[in-house]
Structures are given as C-alpha cells and as structure tokens.
Structure 1
Amino acid sequence: MEGRNEMEFPFEYRVLDSEESEAPCNYFNKFVTKVIRLGSKGYFFFKEFDSTALDIYNMPLRPSDTFVVTFPRSGTTWSQELVWLLQTNLDFEGAKATPLVTRFPFIESTGFWKLNFPSEYYQDDNFEKFMKEVYATSPEMIKSLPSPRFIKTHMPLSLLPPSLLDTAKVVYVARNPRDVAVSNYYNYKSQNIVPVDREFKPFWKLFMENKTLWSPYFEHVKEAWRQRNHPNMAFIFYEELSKDLPGVARRLAKFFGKEYSEEQFEALYNHLKFDNFKNNKSVNMAEWQEIGVMKGPFIRKGKTGGWRDHFDEEMMQQADRWIEENLRDTDLHFPTA
C-alpha cells in the first residue's frame, strides 16, 4: 500500500556479453548498445530499464487501481479503451477529449526516455515533446495521480509490485505468439527502433530466442495464466476480443461490478468497432504520424491470423515446434485464429 517502506528488488540483472547481444544490437537501431536479462526468467530489456524496473517493483498501490498487463502488441490499446470506459461509466466524451496515453499511462515508458538517441534518429523539433508526453511516464508521476488510476504495462507479473493481485484489479490480455511477433516487427519499424530495411525472418528468429523487448513471451503469458483464477485477475485473449467483443465486454463489466443497459452496451460496441477505433485520434497517435515520429500506423489491421502472410513453410514448422515445446507443461491453449 502507499505507506509501506521501499523494498529491495529481489532480482539481479545480467548484462549480456558481446556474443549474446551481437544479434539483437545489430538488428535494432543504433541507440541500442547494451541489453540485459532481468529476473529469474531472464526478461530482455535495454540496459536503461534497470532503474525503471526497481521503481516499478516498489510502486505504491491502491485498491482503486486498474492495470492492463500484456506482452506488447497483444491488443493492449483496444483493451485499455474498453477497460477505461467500463470503469468510468462509459464516459465517451472524456475518452474522445483526452488521449489514452494520458488517461492510461504506460508505467515503464520512462525507460525509453533514458535511451541515448543519436542526433540523426529524429531531426524534428517536436521529437523531445513527443518523448516527454508519451515516453516520460514514471512510477513517481503515477504516484501523484488521483484515484482511480489506470495503468498500462508490458512488465510480467513477477516484476510488478508483489501485492498487485491482492490490491488492485488486473486485466491480462494474451494473443497468438505468431501474430504478436508480426505486430511487434511492424511497430518497432514504425517507431524507428528497427530500421525500415530489416526483414521479418531475422526478427522472428530473435523473437523465438527471447531477444526482443519484454521476452521471453511464453514465460510472460504463463505467469499470468497461473493466476487466472485469482478474484482480481481477468485473463482474456485478443482472439476473443476480435470474435466476441460483446461477450468480453460483459464479462469484464461483471468483473468490475458494473451494470449497463443494452443500449449502453451497443454504444460501447460501436465506439470499439475496429474501423471506428482505428480512426479515433485519442488512441491512434495520429498527431505523431503527422510530424513523422511514427513512420506507420500505431493501430494496424486488428485481425487474427495475419501471420500467415509473413511465414514461409520453414517458419511455420519452427513456430509449431516452439509453441508445442513451450505449452507442454501447461493447459494453456490459444484460440484458433
């Protein structure tokens, strides 16, 4: 809770040696020079995330907090908007008037602000403004926000405050790892984390080798899956959102103790309908595309199974073996895409 004493971070991090870090550092852009493994599962981060991770682990929590936790590109933004609206009595006007990054801050984004961006990375005068508004969120800043607080994170549960599930509400969203890899690839390129000329196949190899940000993917998801029956945890799949948005919305409304009329639910579904959602400037960072900070759309196609357009036969076989191996010790199964 907010008055507790700060705890030490129980996990040490390991800076990858030159041999281990060569492939990811060569694939990512110039500002990535050192990478680390953090925690017992060896989660992969830029070196600049070490102090951010400690701050997050020690962040004071409130019973009124709501977290959306995902591995990146698992339907995070769509879920955030759904959760925020359900928890704020369907405040559509507030949702349209205030950017999602303000309503639902990204807790570890301050780690990006610590990166040493080379001068040629971005020349526009708006770059610093963009970084401060989108990537300078910190646990200290979130600490000062009034309740109720809405917090987005890609951190795995083991690196979040230990009392999280016993204190706050958590919505975890998982997605087929093949689609996650493709979506991350395009997102990294759109934000210039990966140069535009990089091919997908080497990225897929790094993804399977747990050498992309916030990986290992399966450990991330399985940590949450093991907690899926906790009364403060709602575990959903992106594929469920895509195929049955009304069903997921009603399940989450019950989870939050909210009741809405049929007309209100219909208005919610219309707001979140993908074509409407993609064109919603409050969530799609359109202004950053206009000034060139993002080289492509933040919200892409919103469909399941798009990975099939990017995988050759060899990659499909690799994916089947990799997924089977990682699901062998669990009853977790991804919905058919």
Structure 2
Amino acid sequence: MADKFKNIKATSNAFWRGLRRCLRDQPHLLTSPSTPRIDDTFLVEFPKSGITWLTFLIASVNLQKSGIDRQPTFFAVNDLVPDIHTSRHLPTPLPFPGHRFIKSHAPHNPLYRKVIYLVRDPRDVMASYHAFAGKLGWYQGSLSDMIRDQQFGIEAWVKHAQSWLTQTRPSVSFSVIRYEDLLSDTAGVLHHIYALLGFNIEQHVIHAAVVGASFSKMKENEAFCADRNLTLPKDFTFVRKGETSHKEEISAEDLRYIEQHAGETMKIFGYV
C-alpha cells in the first residue's frame, strides 16, 4: 500500500512540474482569456511595428474619458492595456470604454474577435527589431543574418501578416492601421480607431493624448522609468527613432532579398 501511495505522489508531482513548465514556456495558455469577452479589442502587431506608442495613445484617451487623473508610464502601462503574453491576470476595464484593450504579438487567433492590426514597413521593422533583439541578447548575428532568420526575419513577418490576411473565417471586426499613417496623422488615425468602436472622441482629448505620447515625451518617460532599473542594458530603449530608418541601415542586397521574399505582401499594405 505504501508503494502505491508513493507512485501516486510521484505521478502527481510529475504532473504539476509538467504543468508549470508548460505555463512557463507557453504563457499564452495562462494569460489568454478562458472565456473571451465579445467586446475585447486586441491590438496586434509583428514585433517593433509601433504598438508601444499606440498603447500609450489609447491608454491616455481612456484615462481622460474615465475622469482619472493619471498618465500612462512605461512602468505601469500594462495596468491599462495589458500584454496578453506577459500579464497573468487581465485588469478590470476602465469606466471608458468599459471593455478591454489587449496587446498581442500573436499570429492569427480565432479567439480574437475584434482586432486592430498595426503594420509597419517590414524594412523598418527588420532594422528596429535587430537593434532591439541585439540589446536584449536575443539575437547576436548581423542585421543581414537576422533578415534571413526563420524566427526573427522577413519570412516570419510575412507568415505573421498572411495569417491575419487569410483568416479561415474572415471578420468585419478586423482593421489594418499602418504605422506610417499613424506617424503622419496621429490624431486622425486615433479618432478613426475609436470611430470603429462607435465613439466620437472630442478633439481636445485626442490632442492631449497625441501631445502626451509625442516622441520627446515618450523618451522622457522611458528614461524616468528606467533610471533605477538595474535589469536593463544601460543603452537599451523601447523608443528608438520614431521614424523610417531602413535606408540608412540595410544594404541594397538585403533590400532586394526582402522585396523578393515579402514583395507580394508588401504590395497589399502599399509598401511597394
């Protein structure tokens, strides 16, 4: 009998160890809503397409409209617009808009019923992603190597975009926002996002959000929050240049490689 209970205990311990490893290695299993709300709005991007900036803009509008005297910061922005890949518990929605905005880097997921897909010129994405991943030690190769990398490179960008563009059950609750349009007409695009949700946001609210999330303000905010963060590399930043950069950083040969492998998808978004 004692041996029987030992075997049961060993099996149980093995099960819980396996479950912990599974949740550690696949955090989306823990953080994805087990019962998705029909009014969830997912902000989705391939990494380094500008979602941090968009998150700050949306958090600012929602705080203002909720009558809360608070500013989004790098230290606490996930309180307001959580990252599905890192947030174990999704926060209670703010009074406005009364539903959750959730940030994600996931390829197509049928549980995401309302999606704002933020896309950026993949040539700029590659340059920005390489600088970001290199500073964090995620990738040690050259930019040219990374462009050709199956996990980080241009083919990964194509697969991510195509997964959303070729959904098996196309949804009207899917809208593409180009980073370049957000950059050139921030107020107009932000107003459009809320109009999709049925809200007509006052111009002074939009203006305050745009000013508060300007490139200079974002840099100041990040520097302030990183001042005593001893875990980050000293020269690491989420906010890099805030503009196109691939012409300065990517060789002509690598640009040809990108267009060869991503040209058709780039055309869909108006990048070639």
Scaled by the length of structure 2, what TM-score is found? 0.75
Aligned mates of 1:271, 1:320 — CA distance in 2? 36
- Percentage of matched positions with identical amino acids: 22
Aligned mates of 1:225, 1:151 — CA distance in 2? 20
Change (3 A) 1:80 1:289: same
Matched, 1:263 2:199: no
Tell me the SS of whatever aligns to 2:42.
strand
Tell me, yes or no, if the aligned pair for 2:63 and 2:70 is still in contact at 8 Å. no
Which of these two proteins has the greater Rg computed from alpha carbons? 2
Tell me the SS of whatever aligns to 2:268.
coil
Tell me, yes or no, if the aligned pair for 2:107 and 2:160 is still in contact at 8 Å. yes
Structure-1 residue corresponding to 2:218: 277
Decide which of 145, 156, 173 is 1:202's aligned counterpart: 145
Change (3 A) 1:89 1:224: farther
Matched, 1:297 2:237: yes
Aligned mates of 2:257, 2:225 — CA distance in 1? 36
Structure-2 residue corresponding to 1:173: 118
Aligned mates of 1:311, 1:106 — CA distance in 2? 30
Tell me, yes or no, if the aligned pair for 2:23 and 2:29 is still in contact at 8 Å. no
CA drift of 1:99 comes to: 1.5
Matched, 1:244 2:185: yes
Deviations 1:87-137 (A, max 9, x none): 44446742346721332222223xxxxxxxxxxxxxxxxxxxxxxxxxxx2
Change (3 A) 1:323 1:189: same
Residues paired across the two proteins, number: 242
Structure-2 residue corresponding to 1:327: 265
Tell me, yes or no, if the aligned pair for 1:105 and 1:152 is still in contact at 8 Å. yes
CA drift of 1:302 comes to: 0.8
CA drift of 1:245 comes to: 0.9
Tell me the SS of whatever aligns to 1:94.
coil
Amino acid in structure 1 at the alignment position of 2:40: D
Aligned mates of 1:285, 1:230 — CA distance in 2? 41
Tell me, yes or no, if the aligned pair for 2:127 and 2:250 is still in contact at 8 Å. no
Q: Output aligned runs, 1:85-96, within 5 Å.
A: 85-90=60-65, 93-96=69-72
Tell me the SS of whatever aligns to 2:44.
strand
Aligned mates of 2:60, 2:154 — CA distance in 1? 27
Change (3 A) 1:293 1:78: same
Aligned mates of 1:223, 1:56 — CA distance in 2? 21
Tell me, yes or no, if the aligned pair for 1:90 and 1:268 is still in contact at 8 Å. no
Structure 1 stretches of 4+ with a deviation exceeding 6 A read none
Unaligned ranges ≥5, structure 2: 1-21, 94-98
Tell me the SS of whatever aligns to 2:144.
helix
Structure-2 residue corresponding to 1:105: 82
Amino acid in structure 1 at the alignment position of 2:257: Q
Tell me the SS of whatever aligns to 2:123.
helix
Tell me the SS of whatever aligns to 2:191.
helix
CA drift of 1:205 comes to: 1.8
Scaled by the length of structure 1, what TM-score is found? 0.62
CA drift of 1:319 comes to: 1.7
Structure-1 residue corresponding to 2:43: 68
Tell me the SS of whatever aligns to 1:250.
helix
Tell me, yes or no, if the aligned pair for 1:224 and 1:235 is still in contact at 8 Å. no
Aligned mates of 1:104, 1:57 — CA distance in 2? 14
CA drift of 1:217 comes to: 1.2
Unaligned ranges ≥5, structure 1: 1-46, 110-136
What is the aligned-residue RMSD (CA, Å)?
Answer: 3.2
Structure-2 residue corresponding to 1:212: 152
